[in-house]
Amino acid sequence: MPSSPQSHLPTEIIVQIISYVSADNRDRQKTLHACCLVSHQWYSAAVAYLYERPLVNTGIAFQRFTETISPPLGARKNKLNLGSFVHRLNLSHLVHHSSNSLTARLLGRVKGNLEVFAAPSLTFTISSLPALSKCLNLRNLDLSLVHDPIPFPALKQAISKHKKLTTLRLPQSTILTEPESARIPWPPSLQRLQISGRFNPLLIPTFSWPPALTSLALKNCSDLSVTNLGSLLSSPQLGSTLRRLTISGANRGVQPESINAIPAFLPNLTFLSVPGDMVDESFFDIICHMFPPLALTVLEFGLPCADLQLNFSTKSLVNALKTGLTNVREVGFANELVTDQLATEHDEIDDVLRQLEEHRVSQSGSGTQDEAQIGVYLLP
Ligand SMILES: *[C@@H]1O[C@H](CO)[C@@H](O)[C@H](O)[C@H]1NC(C)=O
Ligand SMILES: *[C@@H]1O[C@H](CO)[C@@H](O)[C@H](O)[C@H]1NC(C)=O
Ligand SMILES: *[C@@H]1O[C@H](CO)[C@@H](O)[C@H](O)[C@H]1NC(C)=O
Ligand SMILES: *[C@@H]1O[C@H](CO)[C@@H](O)[C@H](O)[C@H]1NC(C)=O
């Protein structure tokens, strides 16, 4: 088709239009694809956006994507290096659609600019590590669905030079305290870590955590009894660097005593999320006796481990807010745990949080950050 004169716009205008389309998530991929078909000029302007964060959540989409990015031998190749346009790749929806070698080959193609990667559950294995080790621009790596028991030292080795990596979710059955891993450095900028699987309670107190770690999530750990969690939390390194701790309801062995151990070991946390059903009156007894008050600004009663109900009264929480929790601005509840009765009591909690805020403002003159939220919120 000869290009008609009226379809010729200055490239800057086309780029403007495409970046506008690209910022809108509704039908983003479809619209960008349509833009690529308009003319050569439109194609050149839109193709990088089209491949930037491809939606590959069905088997057929994945197949087309891999055939384009990594064409089979002998097939006609695109002159552009399409893989270099990919910045985010989320393969968490895929189960049987890939294969170990295909996942590895795909990573090899997109390694140049990949910043965010979520691995598929079955086809990311130890054989993917050489390709992963070349994705040096990764910022966020999510291996939480990976089934293969990848030895932790091998994984750590593969990512230890990833200077930009700030967020890492480890595979389901990681054994964290394998001794050989101690010699291998963590990625230097790693701030947020999610661990799953097992650790040796005798080795964990001296475990070397990432030097820049500020946020730790424990999810699907095999035993978070008070003995095990206590030895983990007793690490002096965690005490001084950690600001955010999330203990998910999807852990085994959690007891109310495990939760009770947290305030004494980690008084400087600003965010704490724990399974709502694992908090009982004794948690607030402990907190009421803490001085100075905890640094916590957000306390979340998250998805439960077992029981769909809370085992403490609003009165105990309110008392704690006035004593050991005077820095708290927000209290979150998992929706599942909220009964009609509790919903009416949330107003009371809101009131106390507002009074505390007024008090802080009158004490310091300046108040807290303007943007800080105050009050009760529900978790989706
Ligand atoms: C990948 O997609 C899933 C499902 O939509 C989402 O829950 C997850 O947060 C995504 N992962 C990343 C790293 O963006
Ligand atoms: C927890 O990990 C086990 C393997 O250790 C796995 O089979 C299970 O699916 C995981 N559960 C969740 C909720 O991730
Ligand atoms: C908490 O912070 C205070 C003040 O910065 C510090 O003196 C204390 O050692 C910290 N606590 C822990 C357990 O590291
Ligand atoms: C609720 O907490 C009390 C201690 O405060 C404990 O004895 C009781 O077993 C707990 N109930 C449930 C259902 O966990």
pLDDT for 174 equals 95
Angle at 147 between CA 103 and CA 231, to 5 degrees: 130
The atom number, within ligand 2, closest to the CA of 219 reads 14
Stretch among 21-25, 49-53, 113-117, 218-222 having the lowest mean pLDDT: 21-25
Measured in angstroms, how far is the CA atom of residue 140 from the centroid of ligand 2?
21
- Closest ligand (CA of 242): 3
Residues 6+ apart with CB under 8 A from 278: 254, 255, 256, 258, 259, 304, 305
DSSP assignment of 87-121 equals -EEE-TT-SSSS-HHHHHHHHHHHTTT--EEE--S
Which protein residues touch ligand 4 with a CB less than 6 Å away?
280-282, 307, 311
Between CA 246 and CA 272 the distance in angstroms is: 6
pLDDT bracket for residue 371 (50, 70, 90): low
Report d(CA 252, CA 223) in Å as an integer: 5
Is the separation of the CB atoms in 311 and 280 below 8 Å? Answer: yes
* Ligand with minimal distance to 94 CA: 1
Angle, helix 281-288 to helix 314-322, in steps of 10 degrees: 20
- Collapsed DSSP state (helix, strand, coil) of residue 297: coil
> What pLDDT was estimated at residue 111?
96
How sure is the predictor about 294, in pLDDT bands with cuts at 50, 70 and 90?
very high
Check residue 79 and give its pLDDT: 77
Compute the average pLDDT of residues 326-332.
95
Residue minimizing CA distance to atom 2 of ligand 3: 268
End-to-end CA distance of the chain: 51
pLDDT > 80? residue 8 = no
- Whole-number Å distance, alpha carbon 239 to ligand 3 midpoint, is 7
Query: In this prediction, what percent of the chain has a pLDDT beyond 70?
Result: 96
Mean pLDDT of all residues in 248-254: 94
| Amino acid 275: pLDDT | 97
Residue by residue, DSSP assigns 338-355 as --HHHHHHHHHHHHHHHH
Ligand lying closest to the C-alpha of residue 198: 2
Chain length of the chain:
380
The rounded distance, in Å, linking the Cα atoms of 82 and 211 is: 36
Q: How far is the CA of 301 from the centre of ligand 2 (A)?
A: 22
Distance 257 CA to ligand 4 centre (A): 11
Predicted local distance difference test score (pLDDT) of residue 5: 52
Which residue's CA is the nearest one to ligand 4's atom 6?
A: 280
Task: Give the separation between CA 207 and CA 230, rounded to whole angstroms.
Answer: 13
pTM, two decimals, is 0.92
Residue minimizing CA distance to atom 2 of ligand 2? 172
CB 295 less than 6 A from any atom of ligand 1: no
> Which atom from ligand 4 is nearest to the alpha carbon of 309?
13
| Number of the ligand closest to the Cα of 237 | 3
pLDDT of 253 reads 93
Residue 4 banded pLDDT, cuts 50, 70, 90 = low
Q: What is the mean pLDDT of residues 253-265?
A: 95
Q: In this model, does residue 78 exceed pLDDT 90?
A: no
Of 135, 167, 128, 131, the closest CA to residue 150 belongs to 128
Is the domain 191-380 a CATH 3.30.1330.90 member?
Answer: no
Q: What's the chain's average pLDDT? A: 92
Helix/strand/coil for 334: strand
d(CA 195, CA 172): 8
Distance (Å) of CA 143 to CA 24, 220, 329, 333: 28, 13, 33, 27
Parallel, antiparallel or unpaired: strands 375-379 and 116-118:
unpaired
Q: Tokens for 205?
A: 């107190």
Model confidence at 99, pLDDT cuts 50, 70, 90, reads confident
Q: Which of 57, 90, 116, 144 to mutate to test the pocket of ligand 1 (most atoms within 8 A of CB)?
A: 90
Q: Would you say the CB of residue 173 lies under 6 angstroms from ligand 1?
A: no
Phi, psi for residue 14 in degrees, rounded to 5: -60, -45
Residue 373 — very low, low, confident or very high, per pLDDT cuts 50/70/90?
confident
Return residue ranges of the chain for CATH 3.80.10.10: 191-380
Q: Are 227 and 199 in contact (CB under 8 A)?
A: no
Provide the pLDDT confidence category of residue 236 given band limits of 50, 70 and 90.
very high
pLDDT digit string, tens, across residues 158-177: 999 999 999 999 999 999 99
Classify 53-185 by CATH class: alpha beta
Tokens of 190: 């790693």
Q: What is the average per-residue pLDDT within 260-272?
A: 96
Ligand 2 midpoint to CA 96 (Å): 18
pLDDT of residue 3: 52
Please tell me the predicted confidence (pLDDT) of residue 366.
59
Q: Which residues contact 104 (CB under 8 A, 6 or more apart)?
A: 127, 128, 130, 131
Ligand 3 touching residue 240 (CB < 6 A): yes
Average pLDDT over residues 130-144: 98
By most ligand atoms within 8 Å of CB, the mutation choice from 121, 145, 172 for ligand 2 is: 172
According to DSSP H, which parts of 24-145 are helical? 28-36, 40-52, 59-69, 100-110, 129-132
Q: Which ligand is nearest to the CA of 114?
A: 1
- Atom 14 in ligand 1: residue holding the nearest Cα: 90
Percent of the chain with pLDDT over 90: 79
pLDDT score for 155: 97
Atom nearest to 311 CA in ligand 4: 1
Nearest CA, atom 12, ligand 2: 220
Residue 331 phi/psi, 5° resolution?
-125, 125
In this structure, the residue with its CA closest to atom 3 of ligand 1 is 92
| Residue with token string 């097992």 | 198
Q: At what angle do helices 28-36 and 11-23 cross, to 10 degrees?
A: 160
| Residue 362: predicted pLDDT | 86
**Ligand 3 in contact with 188 (CB < 6 A)?**
no
Instruction: Compute how many other C-beta atoms are within 10 angstroms of the C-beta atom of residue 344.
Output: 10
Q: For 307-313, what is the mean pLDDT?
A: 92
Cβ of 264 closer than 6 Å to ligand 3, yes or no, is: no
- pLDDT bin (cut points 50, 70, 90) of residue 96 is confident
Residue in the structure block whose two tokens are 């193709």 = 47
Contact 223, 200 (CB under 8 A): no
